[in-house]
Chain A
Amino acid sequence: SQQGEEDPQALSIQEGENATMNCSYKTSINNLQWYRQNSGRGLVHLILIRSNEREKHSGRLRVTLDTSKKSSSLLITASRAADTASYFCATGLSNDYKLSFGAGTTVTVRA
């Protein structure tokens, strides 16, 4: 069963705008990861945030984690056409390798 659920399922924005997507999960986690998948390609890791962390940044990406609400958000600032992709959150329940993926958010950036 999928641990994480992304919201919204789909998002369409204008180039230059910010995109925010959320991930909710059901049980306590060790870490939460965000991945990007371009159409027909493999997944690419974006950010890993551990359960004792609240916020992480990487370039134009900002991830927050609220363990009390069992939720995380991914913010992409100043979006570009190249950001068009599906974004997945994945939760690690313990300090092992297994991840549980959500169904993803499809982001379309319009020129």
Chain B
Amino acid sequence: NAGVTQTPKFQVLKTGQSMTLQCAQDMNHEYMSWYRQDPGMGLRLIHYSVGAGITDQGEVPNGYNVSRSTTEDFPLRLLSAAPSQTSVYFCASSYRKSGRMNEQFFGPGTRLTVL
């Protein structure tokens, strides 16, 4: 299994540009999420999904959109990039077993710089 994959690894955008960060998992996990990590801070949840067709907002959703058309893919769209969105973005997936949630599996991250 490849686990959780993210593309691209690095991206530089100009203010106002839009782009999509890709995330895919091959573990058939129902739960997927996007976090951002800024220096000196922990991960903050942007959006999450508990299954295909179901998404919800996390702690810091403004400026980002998501959709979940398949179990495997969970892309994150930046609508109009701003310098405040300069960050490292992580995608994660997880599953439920015997009615209880379990650990999250993280992708390698996308380092985004907005000029």
Q: A residues bordering B, Cβ < 8 Å? A: 1-2, 4, 30-31, 33, 35, 40-45, 48, 50, 88, 90, 92, 95-104
Contacts and interface: CB of A to CB of B under 8 A. Distances in A.
A103 B59 CA distance: 15
B39 to A, nearest CB: 10
Contacts of B40: 103
Given A41-B108, A43-B43, A98-B58, A48 B103 contact: yes
Contacts of A41: 108-109
Interface residues of B, number: 29
B105 A45 contact: yes
B41 A103 contact: yes
Nearest to A50: B100
Given A42-B90, A42-B106, A99 B41 contact: no
Contacts of A103: 40-42
Interface string B1-20: 00010000000000000000
A68 B45 CA distance: 27
Contacts of B45: 98-100
Interface string B30-45: 0101010000111111
Contacts of B103: 33, 45, 48
Nearest to B42: A101
Given A50-B100, A101-B42, A101-B43, 11 more contacts: A1-B59, A33-B103, A42-B107, A88-B42, A95-B100, A96-B101, A97-B31, A97-B48, A98-B33, A100-B45, A103-B40
